Structure 1
Amino acid sequence: MTTGSARTAGLTSRDADWAGLRAVVAGLGVSGFAAADALLDRGAAVTVVDATEPAEGSPMEERARILDILGARLRYGEPAVRALPDEPADLVVTSPGWRPDQPLLVAAARAGVPVWGEVELAWRLRPATGAAPWLTVTGTNGKTTTVRMLTAMLRAAGLRARSVGNVGTAVLEAVMDPEPYDVLAVELSSFQLHWSHSIAPRASVCLNVAPDHVDWHGSLEEYTRAKGRVYANTEVACVYNVQDEVTMHLVEDAEVREGCRAVGFTLATPRLSEVGLVDDVLADRAFVEERRTSAAELGTLDDLRAGPDAPPPAPHLVANALAAAALARAHGVPPAAVRQGMRDFTPEPHRIADLGVVRGVRWVDDSKATNPHAAAASLAAFEHVVWVAGGLLKGADVDELVASAAGRLRGVVLLGRDRAAISDALARHAPDVPVVDVARTDTGAMDQVVADALSLAREGDVVLLAPAAASMDMFANYGARGDAFSSAVRRLDTRG
């Protein structure tokens, strides 16, 4: 055992001896700040490194100022992130975006210095007794929706619960909250899971696995392996997607706690130890005593509708609800609270957001569909679609997506840098579908996109923004892209 690993081996709760631990925190973003702050609070000696020096008046400068007051050492510039500091180190805590081949992290591995992510640090900073259990969620798509829906179910059961992790709130913030939580719903990206080693969730789920972030992980196999870490050490239930065999195999390969069960979720009629659909009823045959002969009703599809005039819930939203319900039930949430949680849930912005009917056509903003897998799920929710797509594909293959959606496409409007790749796939797999190519990248481009989409649509059709690509070629983020789309639809409405 190296000196670093020997020093950190006993750090399994906040009540352990953290004083004097020599820690390097890689990155001064939100998670890096939270990690440095928590370590300083426990008496560790902290050095924070970042390739970029904070700009005057920026949030990063404010974080740096606070850490400086608290006693952290701050190092900036490219040399600071290419090697370990001159001072000896017992631990490196990395921000999730730092790749495993980043020079400082490689140097740490060579020197035998443990590397943790901030989620791993958060787990180890839980109190020795009475810590809130974690219900963990990962997957290529649907994580945030599932975590937020799960939180609504937990709260409906009267529990003090919070959505944390990749959903936006740092796990450390919740773990260190002076008012303890009853339970945490934790969204974990593949990056976060790669740097996590000892988490033992109450229940866990991998919603699905499709190619994504392969450049970060090095291969699809490594990406899949990182997703599978969500199941490690699970205590009560490993929840998997019956329609995605990869998730089932990840459960089969996982090292779990004695007595942990495998529980499937499915859009079909549930079998034993599954939750699923019976007609329009969400049914539980996993967490009821008489599950061999009966099921518990958890809610209906109407409980998932955004409103009385909204379209039926998309299949992937139903799947997310079933996964959330399985996690909630594993934690002992009663069926009535699961139903109420579905009713209380508010979809996140730009995720299958129904913008209403304008000019006889329904408009839907799913700008958050930033990869082909997410776009395929979105397209599958509607019968006749004018599809708005394009942006930064990040090397993703769209042939399977286009082939699967071809039969429901009324037309396609393309924008963004990599639109030609989608156009070529349409020519191969949907040659009779009309395509409009919008080459503009100015602020008025989305008005043209909406006008062209309307010209392709028939009354009763859906115009769906599900780009299958990232947004940064034209927009600050997927939210800005969705806002531009919804604003253009509103302007179309006002023109009568």
Structure 2
Amino acid sequence: MSAPLEELTHRDADWAGLRVLVTGLGVTGFAAADALIQHGAQVVVLDAGNDSEQQQTQAGILGILGADVRLGPEHTLAWPEDVEVDVVVTSPGWRPDQPVLAAAAANGIPVWSEIELAWRLRPRVGAAPWLVVTGTNGKTTTVQLLESMLRAAGLRAIATGNVGTPVLDAVQHPEPYDVIAVELSSFQLHFTHSMSPLASCVLNLAPDHVDWHGSLEAYAADKAKIYQRTQVACVYNVQDPRTEAMVEEAEVVDGCRAIGFTVGTPALSMLGVVEDVLADRAFVEERRTSAAELGTFEDLARASGGDGGTAPPPHLVADTLAAAALARAAGITPAAVREGMRRFRTDAHRTTVVAEQDGLTWIDDSKATNPHAALAALRAYPDIVWVAGGQLKGADVDALVAEVAPRLRGVVLLGADREQIALALARHAPDVPVQDVGVTDHGDMPALTRMMDDVVARSAVLARPGHVVLLSPAAASLDMFPSYGSRGDTFAAAVRRHLGLGEGG
């Protein structure tokens, strides 16, 4: 038997013989099982899937290493009575009311996220500090910006968590990192109990994943867990008072500061904007009377593919300020923050400029798969031809349409739930012209290509010089496209064909 769970706080503790049930054999589940086996634990893995080649390969590898891997839905419907378990390590896709996890809770068996396990598998001495980010939208952009700033400072740093590389891989890398930037979902935070980050941030909060959490209040409570035990700075969004309330209620390390970020003028202990300058009034000695310049809109504008002549969208500015606050909490200089901004490029399909021609700007924001994400992009431009629609997943669009109605110069609708958006437009923007291109069967790429050519042609008719044609669907893509990326790529290709540009833009 291993040491008691409360003593398993670092990789050099006695993990040998720990009996672990790993639920889920995705990227994180495989990483968790592999790490635990390496440290001598006895591992049983459950997953409902059994037909993917990748799962079969992973199951085979873990079997060779000594794990008991059980694939198939029958293994996930009830607690495995033939297994002695000290702790469950679960993947983020498993809801707390899933039968196996519910049984663990009923029997008093602790459940850890892979984030909790990763925190406990750091070295006893010299572990890299964590800078952690959550929020409904903007997490990936923020941790990637943060990584760029940290690297500009000469640090060996990585953006990890939901952004791609499992945190477990980062903490166990043979060449240790100086600092780790971690993107965390509410799912991961739900089962995380002992993490103590150097600095933490909640970017924003909007209704999402209520089916997983059971209520908006439970969703918010899990997001708020990120602030617990923070050591240096809890970073909150001045424009979202709920995030500041989370900081006020958090139990933090003595001396930890509350640091706000705002796209307005910063007050004391905040980062914000003065004209076109990103300014720091939190991490400077004379912050009552002065601020440090971190960069300008021009430094940031090219991040989303623009030419630097127009201001970056406000949500990108907000994400940059949040990243800068975390970097400054880690001791990064203003010069390195600025250089990190200059080097940074947003991922594809996040307010990415596809083309600028004849006074029109065409923007791919296909990553906006819910109304809150679309709102961030729609707030960024004064005159918009909006391309919207897809699977709303039960989300309400009335508040979104009501807020952005004054900015809309035309709307082109597509996808399964386009009628819901059309009704909202009729209520809140009755004078805005609307075009409906319908829905195409999922996976029929020639038909989807023709449909998107139609979308672009109709958008061009509605648009005037100075307008932005914005694909920001406010909905998921799976009613027609394999992914939001495929939807964005199809739109961008249609724009280039329409404008007579080469495939590269």
Instruction: Report the TM-score when normalising by structure 2.
Output: 0.95
In the alignment, structure 1 residue 261 sits paired with structure 2 residue 257: yes
In the alignment, structure 1 residue 42 sits paired with structure 2 residue 39: yes
Q: Which residue of the other structure, out of 27, 32, 38, is the alignment partner of 1:30?
A: 27
In the alignment, which residue of structure 1 is the partner of 2:379? Answer: 380
In the alignment, which residue of structure 2 is the partner of 1:456? Answer: 462
Contact 1:7 1:90 in 2 (8 A): no
In the alignment, which residue of structure 2 is the partner of 1:74? Answer: 69
In the alignment, which residue of structure 2 is the partner of 1:361? Answer: 360
Cα distance in structure 2, aligned partners of 1:311 and 1:101:
48
In the alignment, which residue of structure 2 is the partner of 1:245? Answer: 241
In the alignment, which residue of structure 1 is the partner of 2:484? Answer: 478
Moved more, 204-213 or 299-308: 299-308
Q: Which residue of the other structure, out of 258, 272, 283, is the alignment partner of 1:276?
A: 272
* Equivalent position amino acid for 2:356 in 1: V
Sequence identity percentage? 65
May I ask how many residue pairs the two structures share in their alignment? 491
Contact 1:304 1:342 in 2 (8 A): yes
* Equivalent position amino acid for 1:445 in 2: M
Q: Which residue of the other structure, out of 193, 199, 202, is the alignment partner of 2:198?
A: 202
Q: Deviations over 1:424-451 (max 9, x none)?
A: 1000000000111111313222111111
- Cα offset for 1:110? 1.0
Q: What's the secondary structure of 2:381's corresponding residue? A: coil
Contact 2:234 2:247 in 1 (8 A): yes
Cα distance in structure 2, aligned partners of 1:101 and 1:310:
51
Contact 2:412 2:437 in 1 (8 A): yes
- Cα offset for 1:359? 5.1
- Cα offset for 1:460? 2.2
Q: Which residue of the other structure, out of 32, 49, 52, is the alignment partner of 2:49?
A: 52
In the alignment, which residue of structure 2 is the partner of 1:228? Answer: 224
Alignment of 1:314-393 (within 5 A): 314-358=313-357, 360-393=359-392
Q: Deviations over 1:43-98 (max 9, x none)?
A: 0011111111143xx22222112111111111122221122321111111111011
Moved more, 400-409 or 352-361: 352-361
Contact 2:355 2:496 in 1 (8 A): no
In the alignment, which residue of structure 1 is the partner of 2:78? Answer: 83
Computed over aligned residues only, the root mean square deviation of the Cα atoms, in angstroms, reads 1.4
In the alignment, which residue of structure 2 is the partner of 1:301? Answer: 297
Instruction: Report the TM-score when normalising by structure 1.
Output: 0.97
Contact 2:439 2:480 in 1 (8 A): no
* Equivalent position amino acid for 1:415 in 2: L
Q: Deviations over 1:87-118 (max 9, x none)?
A: 11111111101111100100111111111111
Moved more, 444-453 or 416-425: 444-453
Q: What's the secondary structure of 1:240's corresponding residue? A: strand
| Structure 1 stretches lacking a partner, 5+ long | none
Q: Deviations over 1:259-285 (max 9, x none)?
A: 000000011111110011111111111
Contact 1:359 1:493 in 2 (8 A): no
Contact 2:44 2:69 in 1 (8 A): yes
* Equivalent position amino acid for 2:78 in 1: A
* Equivalent position amino acid for 1:466 in 2: S
Contact 1:371 1:468 in 2 (8 A): yes
In the alignment, which residue of structure 2 is the partner of 1:111? Answer: 107
Contact 1:21 1:43 in 2 (8 A): yes
Contact 1:276 1:282 in 2 (8 A): yes
In the alignment, structure 1 residue 64 sits paired with structure 2 residue 59: yes
Q: What's the secondary structure of 2:94's corresponding residue? A: coil
Contact 1:350 1:365 in 2 (8 A): yes
| Structure 2 stretches lacking a partner, 5+ long | 441-446
